[in-house]
């Protein structure tokens, strides 16, 4: 990365101890500056780096992270000086610079052998506490958390204890290689059995780098990001904090979310799958809440990226304000059956341009009549047509999906 300014400061973090110092050396080697500084925040959640980068005056923030994947899939997440994730355009520009052999790196004043380490956890925790101040009424409230043997192990147990909760932590023994291994938000079964077996009121599972959270109610049932957005959106509207009376969700969020919010006059705005698309839509429309089923939820009042701990505190805040249990709040959203059908095709044509197929699509959408949803799209990586339907009767919507595939087979042809 090239920069000609006189003062460039980089903050780096990671989600496991196994990541090692190599990334600090590699990044520092790419800084062309007269007086730069590289600081390591150690093992710390990704959203902490996003929060700290602009507030501590860093030019960029970099995280070595496996996210929700196994440790061998470690990658790099980069945040700008504003704390926002790099856009695809900027990522492409950086990659082009790195691939460009026409320039060389000058000697840097940065001491890459002795990268300064600063413990910023207290600043990040102070930020989180502003979401939900410690309250005596929570003394003894039993909760279970699953830190996925990742970055939240350094923050979450202490945070919830400070808030007065009686905390049981699983997935809190990272060795650098067991991140997300049979635990965390992608494997909430361990947490569910812990919650039921221990009589906990709520369970919270994070992914390895802490930018998402999945919940478990007192009965061991999984509560995903769709249900979280419903309960938080309704409470935020009651508190006058839901900007635009709208929520951003991806095309994969269940129609039940849309229907549940509609009853409170809250609009659902759809965007492509990916937290960066959620963020972009929220920024464009000046909205305060958006997210994905996966538990990657963005509360823009606090940060323009997903933060599992911030999501947890907003859910607990909603429980406190309504004096209701998680299962009661989650029941406000009815999850509609979803059917996914794939058809291998030999060419990708606009189905609306073929009258018989367009007619079937219109007929199915008419039958869904606001109580269901149809999404027809081509795969971006495979020669597949994907048909997704949601509705009240699974057998019925499956038949309607097959009608669409039959029409495509008859009038477009397939690769089968």
Q: Domain for residue 125, yes or no?
A: no
Residue 80 lies in a domain: yes
CATH number of the domain enclosing 389? 3.30.310.50
Which backbone phi and psi does 64 adopt, to 5 degrees? -90, 120
Beta-carbon-side half-sphere exposure of residue 302 (alpha carbons within 13 Å): 26
**Cα–Cα distance between 332 and 320 in angstroms, integer?**
17
Classify residue 232: in a domain, yes or no: no
The candidate with the shortest Cα–Cα distance to 221, out of 329, 322, 128, is 329
Taking only Cα atoms into account, the Rg of the chain, rounded to an integer number of angstroms, comes to: 23
For residue 42, being part of any structural domain is answered with: yes
Residue 325 falls within a domain, yes or no? Answer: no
What pLDDT does residue 295 have? 95
CA–CA separation, 81 vs 5, rounded Å? 14
Tell me which of 67, 187, 253, 312 is the catalytic residue: 67
**Known catalytic residue at 67:** yes
**Domain end position, chosen among 79, 97, 119:** 119
Looking at the domain assignment, is residue 326 inside a domain?
no
Confidence of residue 187 (pLDDT cuts 50, 70, 90): very high
Residue 151: per-residue pLDDT: 95
Q: Which of 85, 119, 153 is the last residue of a domain?
A: 119
In a domain, residue 253? The reply is no
The total domain count for the chain is 2
* 405, two tokens: 């595939």
Residue 310 lies in a domain: no
Query: How distant, in Å, are the alpha carbons of 79, 306, 385 from that of 302?
Result: 16, 10, 39
Question: pLDDT tens digits, residue range 113-146?
Answer: 677 889 999 999 999 998 887 654 566 689 999 9
Question: 58, 91, 119 — which closes off a domain?
Answer: 119
Domain that holds residue 98: 9-119
| Least-confidence region, from 25-39, 86-100, 294-308 | 25-39
| Domain CATH number, residue 98 | 3.40.120.10
pLDDT at 29: 33
């Amino acid at each position: 990365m090239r920069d000609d300014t006189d003062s460039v400061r980089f903050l780096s973090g990671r989600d496991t101890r196994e990541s090692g110092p190599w990334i600090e050396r590699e990044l520092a080697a790419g800084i062309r500056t007269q007086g730069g500084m590289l600081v390591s925040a150690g093992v710390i959640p990704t959203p902490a780096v996003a929060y700290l980068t602009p507030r501590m005056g860093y030019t960029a923030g970099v995280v070595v992270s496996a996210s929700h994947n196994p440790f061998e899939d470690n990658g790099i997440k980069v945040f700008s000086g504003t704390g926002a994730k790099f856009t695809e355009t900027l990522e492409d520009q950086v990659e082009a610079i790195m691939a460009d052999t026409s320039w060389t790196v000058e000697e840097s004043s940065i001491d890459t052998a002795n990268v300064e380490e600063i413990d910023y956890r207290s600043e990040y925790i102070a930020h989180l506490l502003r979401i939900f101040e410690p309250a005596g009424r929570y003394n003894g409230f039993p909760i279970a958390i699953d830190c996925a043997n990742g970055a939240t192990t350094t923050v979450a147990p202490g945070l919830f204890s400070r808030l007065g909760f009686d905390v049981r932590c699983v997935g809190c023994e990272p060795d650098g290689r067991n991140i997300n291994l049979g635990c965390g938000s992608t494997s909430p079964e361990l947490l569910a059995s812990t919650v039921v077996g221990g009589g906990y009121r709520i369970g919270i599972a994070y992914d390895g780098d802490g930018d998402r959270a999945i919940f478990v109610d007192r009965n061991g049932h999984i509560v995903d990001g769709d249900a979280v957005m419903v309960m938080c959106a309704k409470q935020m509207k009651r508190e006058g904090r839901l900007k635009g009376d709208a929520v951003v969700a991806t095309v994969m969020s269940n129609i039940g979310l849309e229907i549940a919010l509609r009853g409170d006059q809250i609009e659902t705005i759809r965007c492509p799958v990916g937290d960066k698309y959620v963020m972009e839509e929220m920024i464009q429309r000046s909205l305060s809440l958006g997210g994905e089923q996966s538990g990657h939820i963005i509360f823009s009042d606090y940060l323009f990226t997903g933060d599992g701990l911030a999501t947890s505190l907003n859910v607990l805040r909603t429980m406190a304000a309504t004096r209701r249990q998680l299962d009661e709040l989650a029941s406000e959203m009815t999850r509609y059956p979803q059917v996914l059908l794939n058809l291998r095709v030999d060419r990708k044509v606009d189905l609306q341009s073929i009258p018989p197929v367009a007619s079937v699509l219109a007929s199915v959408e008419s039958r869904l009549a606001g109580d269901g949803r149809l999404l027809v799209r081509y795969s971006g990586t495979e020669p597949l047509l994907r048909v997704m339907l949601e509705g009240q009767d699974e057998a019925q919507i499956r038949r309607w999906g097959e009608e669409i595939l039959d029409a495509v087979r008859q009038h477009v042809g397939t690769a089968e």
